[in-house]
Structure 1
Amino acid sequence: MQKLQLEHPFLVAQDLSAIGSLSLNVANPILAAFGLPLAILPTSLLSTQTEGFETPAKLLTDGWLDSTFKHWQQQNIQFSGALIGYLGTEELVTQMSNYLSGQHSPLVILDPVMADQSEAYPGIPKRYSVAMKTMLQNADIIVPNTTEAQLLTGITIGEKPSENEQMMLLKSLEQLMPKDAHAIITDVRDDKQTGCVWLEAGKLKYYRCPIIDGHFFGSGDVFAALLAGFILHEETLGSAITMAVDGTYETLKYTADAETELRFGLNISTLLGEISHYAQTGQFK
């Protein structure tokens, strides 16, 4: 297998938590295990993640981001793509959106981290989804959960959405994005399985794994990083989604079996070995 070689670094913009295996703390090692050159952009510094530890100490990096973007532009630093995760303020969303608009990156994957299970995450402003909606114009792939998809489109669906409702959500999301962009809803479930739904040739495609009991902080971060890594290794969208769901499921299972306290995030040690094997051989699992 010919090793992947990117001409420019891949940009990862997410929050950095001092405690907790999630966000940049999982995206960075996962993408590094794929053999990718990275540029790391912490959008905020947190003493802990925003759930499970009451209100964390938080330092926004918007002033530093301005200086960083100017320095990169002065040095003509370009990127092979970007993975954008938790931003947390409307100002940071606008700042990141403006930067991406001037970059014309060949691949932008956006995880619009703002809500789940019909509720906004702690500290998310009421009009945050309005600002986030503008970022869809710069995204080639978005990976919202069902709650985030509804907030971005203004469409309300039932607790057990029909195929028609899922189709409507996906089409509405993709209408907000550039031509040939893709939306993937990441938490479609039935009684025993959960996974993703997306559109291929105008038809719904599903891939699911068994449900594991518990609320696993950082599972979306793992999925998004895996998806980015597989796509950068030139997997098809369907193959990348399938492997990313499988890798996330195995990570959740490993974390649950290890009886890790879930608010501290995920144990990705086994996953990193699997990714390194894939990067060398092209075989995952």
Structure 2
Amino acid sequence: MKKVAVIQDMSSFGKCSITAAIPVLSVMGVQAVPLPTAILTAQTGYSSFYCEDLTSKMDYFVDEWSKLGATFDGIHTGFVTGKEQIDNIFRFLNVFHSNETKLLVDPVMGDHGEVYKMFTGELLDHMKELVKCADIITPNVTECCLLTGLAYEKLQSYANDLAYFQALEQAGHQLQQVTGANVIITGLNPPAADKGQRYVGNMYVDAERSFHSIRDYNGESYSGTGDLFASVIMGGMMRGQDLVESMKLAETFLAAAIEATSKEQVPPEAGVHFERFLRMLL
């Protein structure tokens, strides 16, 4: 069985990060090996939470796993609390990242045009270096803007969807060329069309092609959907699936979960009820 090291936080409530990655990878036939960067009582979108930062503990995992002679077929990084944790990830990669190891970096820094509380210029500089090590990068639109310098406000001001897609495609190609990685930009949400129809989707960019995939948008946004998406992409890589095939699978899986969650009127910070749809990933 293939093994993936999952380096991100563990939030008890919110269905995100490690608690999203483990069930997805498991049902896709992959062993998830967690390295928690922080332990939270609930993800940061809740009105109250406690966070235990594990920056000083991360090297223990490297040391102990080295003693075990551990190897990994994949490494999946997500939420980090600051640049120091990215330094720790680089040390982890020095030990466990080989030519045969697939690295997926989800550069978690913000969403909806806003940066998260832990964001700093130093974190961005370190993240720009980390994504250069990746085989695949899964930024949302906000994170793509941060990594490339594209102005989020300008992106939202375009008068038509075509200009929006073209600007993002250019940014995606820029990121791909700088890093050499395949890029999937998540959470596309172009300006309203003439009739007020809204869409949500993703954009795929590699060295030879790019395209976007969109669906009708119901206006709902839930915790953890990006983590679930990235986990399906990693699981697909471990199964040898084409990235585009994995992207479509992730979209279908999430669309079903989001629709069901919306009907149940679940608070957005609680995340989507994805568990009943895991069978779609078999």
More divergent stretch after superposition (259-268 vs 218-227) = 259-268
Distance in structure 1 (CA, Å) of the matches to 2:266 and 2:72? 36
- Counterpart for residue 281 of structure 1: none
48, 64, 71: which one aligns with 2:64:
71
Query: Structure 1 stretch 189-198 or stretch 32-41: which is displaced more?
Result: 189-198
1:210 and 1:90, CA in 2 relative to 1: closer, same or farther beyond 3 A? same
How far, CA to CA, are the matches of 1:163 and 1:194 in structure 2? 12
Alignment correspondent of 2:155: 158
- Which amino acid in 1 is paired with 2:202? C
What's the TM-score once normalised by structure 1's chain length?
A: 0.87
Task: State whether structure 2 residue 194 is matched by structure 1 residue 188.
Answer: no
Q: Please state if 1:46 is matched with 2:52.
A: no
CA deviation string 1:162-213 (max 9, x = no partner): 34322321121112324xx201111223443211112256332111222122
What does residue 52 of structure 2 align with?
Answer: 59
Query: 2:182–2:207: 8 Å Cα contact kept in structure 1?
Result: no
CA distance in 2, matches of 1:258, 1:44: 30
The residue number in structure 2 matching 1:12 is 6
Counterpart-to-counterpart distance in 2, 1:22 and 1:75: 29
Cα distance in 1 for residues equivalent to 2:271 and 2:169: 32
Deviation at 1:273, TM superposition (A): 2.4
Structure 1 distance, partners of 2:74, 2:209, is: 27
Which aligned pairs between 1:196-207 and structure 2 lie closer than 5 A?
196-200=202-206, 202-207=208-213
1:86-105 alignment runs, 5 A limit? 86-102=79-95, 103-104=97-98
What SS class does the counterpart of residue 158 from structure 1 fall into?
helix
Alpha-carbon distance, 1:261 to partner: 2.3
- Secondary structure of the 2:155 match is coil
In structure 2, distance between residues paired with 1:94 and 1:200? 27
Moved more, 154-163 or 35-44: 154-163
What corresponds to 1:283 in structure 2?
A: none
SS in 2 for 1:20: coil
**How big is the shift at 1:83?**
1.3
> Is the CA contact 2:254–2:274 (under 8 Å) kept in the aligned structure 1?
no
Query: Corresponding residue for 1:80?
Result: 73
1:108 partner amino acid = L
> What does the per-residue CA deviation read over 1:126-180, in whole Å, with 9 as the maximum and x for residues that have no partner?
43211111101211000101111111122325214534322321121112324xx
Q: 1:274 and 1:198 mapped to 2: Cα distance?
A: 22
Q: Output the CA distance in 2 between the equivalents of 1:101 and 1:243.
A: 32
Contact 1:226–1:247 under 8 Å retained in 2:
no
What count of residue pairs does the alignment treat as equivalent?
Answer: 267
Shift of 1:89: 1.0
User: Which 10-residue stretch deviates more, 220-229 or 253-262?
Assistant: 253-262
Q: How far apart are the structure 2 equivalents of 1:96 and 1:263? A: 28
Query: In 2, are the aligned partners of 1:118 and 1:147 still within 8 Å (CA)?
Result: yes
Aligned residues: CA RMSD: 1.8
The residue aligned with 1:236 is 242
Cα offset, 1:272, TM superposition: 1.6
User: Do the aligned partners of residues 259 and 163 (structure 1) sit closer, same or farther apart at CA in structure 2, a change above 3 Å counting?
Assistant: closer
- Residue in structure 1 matched with residue 193 of structure 2 by the alignment: none
Which stretch has the larger CA shift, 27-36 or 253-262? 253-262
The percent of aligned pairs where both chains have the same amino acid is 24
In structure 2, the residue matched to 1:35 is 29
Match of 2:224 in 1: 218
* Equivalent position amino acid for 1:100 in 2: L
The 3 A distance-change label for structure 1 pair 273 and 198 is closer
Q: Which runs of 5 or more structure 1 residues have no equivalent in the other structure?
A: 279-285
**TM-score normalised according to structure 2 size:** 0.88
* Residue 114 (str. 1) matches residue 116 (str. 2): no
